[in-house]
Amino acid sequence: MNFVTKYDIGHRYWAARCIKRVHEEEMELDGRIWVRTYFTYEPVIKEKEIVSIEIRSGKRGTSVIYGTLNVSESYSELQRFFPEKNIENYTREEAMEVAKEYAENCEEHFGIDEDEDV
């Protein structure tokens, strides 16, 4: 069988992320310590590289699963696997724009649909 995949091994793309950060400020007033906790949302982008492709074929059809690594990190990390529809394939500018949009809306975003089964 011959399978055609949308992306090849070595394909690089940018993924948008938005990370919720917790901050605490302490203040002493009249001998008591008061702590204020607040949150910020940090837009982050990561360059990803496809390093493996799995093709799963069964009674319900065929699916393509891509193994990715973060480019800037060492290759000692474990691959993360995504179905084809979850590959974000943004340019650097598009990814930053999406990440900033999530930050402005005070929402975390990790690039995958949490309800999705891989």
Q: Is residue 113 over pLDDT 70?
A: no
Half-sphere exposure of 30 (CA within 13 A, CB side): 0
Whole-number mean pLDDT of the chain?
A: 88
Q: Which residue has the higher pLDDT, 72 or 105?
A: 105
86-100 average pLDDT score = 92
Per-residue pLDDT tens for 24-42? 999 999 999 999 999 999 9
75-80 average pLDDT score = 78
pLDDT at 112: 61
CA-to-CA distance for 26 and 35, rounded, in angstroms? 5
